[in-house]
Every structure is written in C-alpha cells, then in structure tokens.
C-alpha cells in the first residue's frame, strides 16, 4: 500500500486536466497538496474542496510559473504553510500549435516560457530546500511529442524534449543527495488540451494507438504515484502512451 502521509507536494497546473487528477490521487494517499494555477481560480478551489471532502489537505496558490518571481512566491507560500517540500510535480503546460513557417515569435516564447523555463523557475526555487532535507522527488510531465515530434508543434516539442534533458542532467547532480528526478511522457490523454485537437485528426491519432483509445488522467497519476514512492529510479522517462511510441 503506497502512502504519502505527511509529505508535501506541489502540482503546477493542478487546477485542471492531468494536474488536477495527480493532485487528488496524491492527496488520497495522505499528502498535503498545493494546487498551483495561473488563471482558473474557481477550478483550483474546486480541486481543494474535493480533496477536503475526503479528509485530505490542500491549498490553492496562484502563480504564473513562466515568471521566476511568481514561482519563488509559490515555493515560499508552500514552505510557510507546510514547513517543507517533498515532491514537485512540474505539470503546467500550454500549446500554441502552428506550422513553423507561420509560427509567431510570441507563440514560440509563450510555449518555451510556460513549459520549459517554468521548470527552471520552480526547481531552482525548491532545490536548496530539498538538498537541506536530503530528500526530494521532482517529476516532470513531458510528452510523447518531445520524443517523436509532431507536425505544427516545433515549439511544444522543443519544450518537452528540453524537459527530458533537464531531467537527466539534474538527476546526475542530485542522485547522491536523496533527490530523484524523473519525467513522464504521456501519449494522448483525455483533457481539454486534447479536446482542442480537431475530431478528424484525433480519430487518425487513435487509430495509430495500439490500445485504440486515449489515455486517462488517472493513468498518468498512477505513474506519478509510482515515482513518488520509488527510491532507486532516477533520470528516467516513463512512457504512458498505450504503446504508440516504444
């Protein structure tokens, strides 16, 4: 029986989709969970209420993780409330899909800032706390697109591949200090992000998935829970993709 009783977790982008499910599943195992969000305050409050309804402990914290200052605020608020930080789940992410020849500078930088620069912001703000504790779990939600690429997603693919490289290098640097750093590469998961994919494109994508269905947010949360409880796994990337990329 996996338990996270007493552990303190931050889930960036915990207000909706995959992040909201991760937050609830970790809270069910006894963790105190900080639900970070940028604009969906009602959704973040609903996640907190849901967790409290089953006796769990949670706090919503607004911070744009594309900003170093706001990410520092997220870490400080968590320490103020719970005294420590055991697990950081870097989940916040956006897409701004367009073929490269039409991609604007803003669309490039928005995605790199929210998906990739964010993990520098949150991790740099938390790493010294974890080093002092001699304990930490950093779990980065990357994507199959960072491994395989996709038409119209140069910005997103670069950001997600960057997360994998970051994971491996930081894992090397922190392995002897009780900190593990891993990434998860979900395939196509049922959320608002995948709902934005046109129906005909989605049908084609599903036909190529060996399991012939989209993944569930709970199936990504299972991998997070597994990594949160693992001691000897670091620098790895776990694929949760129904077999579509091996």
**Residues annotated catalytic, as ranges:** 156
Closest CA to 224 of 34, 24, 55: 24
**Binders of ligand NDP among 64-83, rule CB under 6 A?**
64-66
Bridge partner list, 61: 36
Of the candidate spans 7-15, 46-54, 79-87, 130-138, the one that interacts with ligand NDP by CB under 6 A turns out to be 7-15
Sole binder of ligand NDP in the list 8, 9, 10, 18 (CB under 6 A): 18
**Binders of ligand NDP among 147-206, rule CB under 6 A?**
186, 188-189, 191-194
Coil vs helix vs strand at 188: coil
Coil vs helix vs strand at 51: helix
Bridge partner list, 184: 141, 238
CB of 3 to ligand NDP, least distance (A): 25
Closest CA to 94 of 126, 66, 68: 66
The yes or no reply on residue 104 touching ligand NDP (CB under 6 A) is no
Contacts of 39 (CB under 8 A, 6+ apart): none
CB of 118 to ligand NDP, least distance (A): 7
CB of 70 to ligand NDP, least distance (A): 8
Put the strands of the sheet holding 8-11 in their side by side order. 57-62, 32-37, 8-11, 87-90, 136-141, 179-186, 237-240
Sole binder of ligand NDP in the list 4, 7, 8, 15 (CB under 6 A): 15
Sole binder of ligand NDP in the list 9, 12, 122, 167 (CB under 6 A): 12
Sole binder of ligand NDP in the list 4, 7, 9, 13 (CB under 6 A): 13
Pairwise CA distance, residues 121 & 135, whole Å: 19
Binding site for ligand NDP (CB under 6 A): 12-13, 15-19, 36-40, 64-66, 91-94, 114, 141, 143, 186, 188-189, 191-194
């Amino acid at each position: 029986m996996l338990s996270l009783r007493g552990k303190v977790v931050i889930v960036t982008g915990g207000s909706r989709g995959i992040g909201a499910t991760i937050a609830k599943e970790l809270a069910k195992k006894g963790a105190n969970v900080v639900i970070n969000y940028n604009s969906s305050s009602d959704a973040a409050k609903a996640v907190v209420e849901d967790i409290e309804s089953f006796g769990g402990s949670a706090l919503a914290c607004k911070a744009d993780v594309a900003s170093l200052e706001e990410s520092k605020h997220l870490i400080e608020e968590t320490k103020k409330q719970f005294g420590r930080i055991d697990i950081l789940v870097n989940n916040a992410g956006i897409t701004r899909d367009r073929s490269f020849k039409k991609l604007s500078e803003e669309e490039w930088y928005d995605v790199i800032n929210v998906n990739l620069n964010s993990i520098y912001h949150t991790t740099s703000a938390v790493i010294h706390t974890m080093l002092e504790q001699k304990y930490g779990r950093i779990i980065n939600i990357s994507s199959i697109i960072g491994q395989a690429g996709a038409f119209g997603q140069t910005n997103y693919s670069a950001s997600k591949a960057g997360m994998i490289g970051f994971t491996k290098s930081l894992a090397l640097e922190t392995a002897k200090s009780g900190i593990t750093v891993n990434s998860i590469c979900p395939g196509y998961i049922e959320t608002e992000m995948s709902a934005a994919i046109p129906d005909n494109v989605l049908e084609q994508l599903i036909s190529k998935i060996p399991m012939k269905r989209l993944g569930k947010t709970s199936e990504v949360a299972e991998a997070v829970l597994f990594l949160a409880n693992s001691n000897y796994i670091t620098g790895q990337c776990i694929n949760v993709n129904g077999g579509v990329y091996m």
